[in-house]
């Protein structure tokens, strides 16, 4: 994440980068390879999402208590799962953040698991449990940010037109449920899951300026 954080640091922002669930060290099994931690437990990822959002809220509250930090100028942002959790955090903690930036993220958790090229093992596990897309929607509905879309404001969403991991259809399903006065969507034509920094830096910094995060 250093390449994304670097531009923001140069713009005068202070950055905290948490380790996310299902990524990095938290995703490694005993053999040192990726291991989905909730086989046989369809609610397991829901609990992980709840915990991650609570972690983000706790970090923001801790930062806002520092003397050198203006608690009115906190933003949250991320890429991929971090982008999904950005939208989640805005819905869960609407009074904490002035703005949010979701890069190739979505609020449609069940739809993402059902369509992402990254989750066939989760889909296979759910199928063995007799859980299809409709059942999955019911499991994830209590935490779906779009169920509380009225709490989500000043969000900039980036989408890659050719993204197989967070398909643009998932991003558009989120966008359609948001108000379009303070929230914005930027689609990178021909873009995949790893969007070039030079295509997102200018609109990202412009969004932070519009919301009073930078000068």
Are the C-beta atoms of residues 76 and 60 closer than 8 Å to each other? yes
φ/ψ of 60, rounded to 5, equals -65, -40
Does 97 fall in a domain?
Answer: yes
What is the pLDDT of the chain when averaged over all its residues?
Answer: 88
The pLDDT > 90 percentage for the chain reads 57
20-61 pLDDT per residue, tens: 766 666 666 677 766 677 888 989 889 989 999 999 999 999
183-197 pLDDT per residue, tens: 999 999 999 999 988
Among 7-21, 120-134, 158-172, name the one with the lowest average pLDDT.
7-21
User: Using N-to-C axis directions, what is the helix angle for 81-92 and 44-64, rounded to 10°?
Assistant: 70
Cα gap 86→63, rounded to integer Å: 17
Q: What are the DSSP E strand ranges found in the chain?
A: 75-79, 99-103, 155-160, 184-188
pLDDT, greater one: 111 or 18: 111
Q: For the beta carbon of residue 21, count every other beta carbon within 10 angstroms.
A: 18
Terminal C-alpha separation, the chain: 23
H-helix or E-strand spanning residue 88: helix 81-92
Indicate the number of domains in the chain: 1
- Residue 26 has what pLDDT? 63
Host domain of residue 24: 2-210
53-83 pLDDT per residue, tens: 999 999 999 888 888 788 888 999 999 999 9
Whole-Å CA distances, 106 to 26, 162, 178, 211 = 22, 15, 12, 21
CATH number at residue 155: 3.40.50.1820
Task: Provide the pairing of β-strand 155-160 with 99-103.
Answer: parallel
- Residue 154 has what pLDDT? 96
Question: Which region holds residue 193: left if phi is over 0, alpha if psi is between -120 and 50, else beta?
Answer: alpha
Q: pTM of the prediction?
A: 0.90
pLDDT, greater one: 209 or 154: 154
134-159 pLDDT per residue, tens: 899 999 999 999 999 999 999 999 99
Does 215 fall in a domain?
Answer: no
């Amino acid at each position: 994440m250093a390449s994304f954080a670097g531009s923001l640091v140069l713009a005068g922002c202070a950055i905290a980068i948490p380790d996310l669930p299902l990524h990095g060290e938290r995703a490694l099994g005993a053999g040192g390879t990726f291991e989905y931690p909730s086989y046989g437990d369809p609610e397991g990822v829901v609990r992980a999402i709840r915990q991650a959002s609570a972690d983000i809220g706790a970090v923001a509250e801790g930062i806002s208590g520092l003397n050198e930090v203006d608690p009115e100028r906190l933003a949250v942002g991320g890429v991929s799962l971090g982008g999904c959790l950005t939208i989640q955090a805005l819905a869960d903690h609407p009074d904490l953040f002035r703005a949010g930036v979701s890069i190739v993220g979505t609020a449609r958790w069940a739809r993402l698991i059902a369509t992402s090229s990254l989750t066939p093992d989760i889909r296979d596990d759910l199928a063995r449990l007799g859980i299809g897309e409709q059942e999955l929607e019911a499991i994830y509905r209590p935490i779906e940010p779009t169920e509380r879309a009225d709490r989500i404001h000043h969000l900039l969403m980036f989408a890659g037109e050719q993204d197989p991991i967070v398909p643009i259809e998932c991003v558009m399903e989120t966008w359609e449920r948001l108000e379009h006065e303070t929230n914005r969507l930027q689609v990178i034509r021909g873009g995949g899951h790893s969007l070039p920094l030079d295509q997102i830096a200018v609109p990202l910094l412009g969004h932070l300026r519009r919301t009073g995060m930078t000068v």
